[in-house]
């Protein structure tokens, strides 16, 4: 599993569909997830710390878990099929040994994670199939590695192999 952070919300310029963008801690890999307008609004409201006069659906869910003293340990994006992402909420009820895994839409999972401060993870196979790569960071890392290779000297490794 790869821990991700919410990088932001945006719109796909081709069809003006909302997109939530997740990024890894090194900002090398990004996962764009196309979501619905209402879910985008729910995530935006939470990011802007907007409080509606009455609880919205994601607020209600977070409130129920809080009142039950259940902890949302993490949100995991577990699959990607036919342009649809699948997620699970991993919840530990008060006093329980086992974690409950509740199937949900990725956009709902992210909206709840933003409200509860829960970490967001993506399974590695999902990242491999659906990620975007930050080519600038890749170029930087490749250049650094190439410089290392070009300047490495066998004598640099003697201290690791000489046992005097």
Residue 9 backbone dihedrals phi, psi, to 5 degrees: -115, 150
Tokens of 135: 């080519």
User: 138: pLDDT confidence band, cut at 50, 70 and 90?
Assistant: low
pLDDT at 82: 87
More confident call, 32 vs 75: 75
User: What domains sit in the chain, N to C, each tagged with a CATH number?
Assistant: 2-150 (3.10.690.10)
pLDDT at 73: 95
Tell me the per-residue pLDDT of 116-135, one tens digit each, with 9 for 90 and over: 999 999 999 998 887 665 54
Is the whole model's pTM more than 0.75, yes or no?
yes
In this predicted structure, the answer to whether residue 28 has a pLDDT above a threshold of 60 is yes
């Amino acid at each position: 599993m790869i821990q991700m952070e919410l990088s932001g919300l945006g719109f796909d310029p081709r069809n003006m569909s909302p997109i939530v963008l997740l990024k890894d801690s090194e900002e090398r890999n990004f996962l764009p997830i196309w979501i619905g307008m209402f879910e985008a609004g729910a995530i935006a409201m939470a990011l802007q710390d907007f409080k509606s006069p009455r609880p919205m659906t994601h607020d209600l869910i977070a409130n129920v878990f809080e009142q039950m003293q259940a902890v949302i340990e993490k949100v995991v994006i577990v699959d990607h099929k036919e342009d649809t992402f699948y997620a699970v909420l991993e919840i530990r009820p008060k006093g329980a040994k086992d974690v409950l895994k509740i199937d949900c839409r990725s956009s709902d999972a992210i909206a709840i994670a933003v409200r509860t401060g829960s970490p967001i993870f993506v399974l590695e196979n999902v990242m491999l199939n659906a990620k975007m790569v930050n080519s600038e960071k890749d170029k930087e890392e490749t250049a650094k590695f190439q410089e290392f290779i070009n300047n490495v000297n066998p004598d640099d490794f003697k201290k690791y192999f000489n046992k005097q």
